[in-house]
Amino acid sequence: MTQETALPRVAIGSLGGTVSMQAAAPGQGVTPKLDCDAMLAALPQLVGLAQFSTATLCLVPSASLDFTGLLEVLAWAKAQVGQGAQAVVLTQGTDTLEEAAYFLDLLWPCDAPMIMTGAMRAASHPGADGPANLLAAVRVALSENSRGRGVLAVINDQIHEAKAVRKTASLAMAAFESPGSGPIGQVVEGCAHYRQVASRRRVLPLPQRTSQRVVLLEACLDADTTLLQALPGLGYDGLVVAGFGAGHVSEPWADTLADVVGHMPVIVATRTGSGSTARATYGFVGGEIDLQAKGMRMAGVLCPRKCRILLWLLLGSSALTELDDWLAH
């Protein structure tokens, strides 16, 4: 057996994003340019770590990713593991990394880790962080302690769970946090260090349909109810409300949502960015006690954007009866 064949195999897929972006000419904005092989060519430190198979799955800014495309990414990643890859690494834009990671985590059935990373500075900019983030992602992927943890986001030498991670800054290098819990691990001197052992995971089956539509609306001061009133006639299958504080809305919104919930499931989350919705504290009209009495579900710690993903997948797999259990999970 040669040294090369003795090395573990890691599959790396590129979806585009800032990590792949360069400017066509000085003074022009950056756009996705580098394919997966070009990104790896900038990392001689990868030599000897593993055997790598690469694929440029797409080259788009992450705002243009969609659920159908992510299902194709999932199928590719599962096929790589089926062909012997010990881990999968994905690079994509940071704008939707938190959502894509959660989407894939809900469906990833393998013990093999799926590690996602990106960059805050384009590849053509001084001090680009993409190579360091990709190297850290590979090292986390190769760690035996990463197995059984599902999909992880590795960026800025921190390891985050897909359910908890959020992009909390638009341009700062340290743009990712896991509010309320913090990262579950750290990359130190090239090694992945975790704060706790892997816990038992749950995954959803693949959706049988993808035509369902779930809308996300944010409560704000003195917002009217025109859009809420129109929702039942617009063909939506579910609604997520990013509510005030611990999961609250105005009295007019509460009254209108009482009608909407007769047509589709409604989840109320908090728009604050950290913390849980309440369940039994506030008794006013539009408070969480009132909203639950009207048939709405409270999101707990799950952020509004991830509530929308969870609801979309549950609707697509005819598993809506599991919604309360997942929100409490």
Q: How confident is the model at residue 88 (pLDDT cuts 50, 70, 90)?
A: very high
Question: What are the structural domains of the chain?
Answer: 3-194 (3.40.50.1170), 214-328 (3.40.50.40)
Cβ neighbours, 10 Å, residue 319:
15
Q: Read off the amino acid at residue 211.
A: S
Residue showing tokens 């707990």: 300
**pLDDT number for residue 59:** 97
What pLDDT shows up at residue 278? 98
Whole-angstrom Cα distance, residue 152 to residue 116?
A: 6
Closest CA to 56 of 40, 68, 79, 78: 40
> What are the φ/ψ torsions at residue 171 (nearest 5 degrees)?
-130, -15
Given a contact cutoff of 8 angstroms between Cβ atoms, the answer to whether 296 and 261 are in contact is: yes
Q: What average pLDDT does the chain have?
A: 96
Active site (annotated) includes residue 18: yes
Cβ within 8 Å of residue 73, ≥6 positions away: 13, 15, 57, 90, 104
Please identify which of the residues 2, 5, 18, 225 carries the catalytic annotation.
Answer: 18
Q: What angle do CA 156, 73, 48 make, to 5 degrees?
A: 55
Q: Please give the model's pTM, rounded to 2 decimal places.
A: 0.97
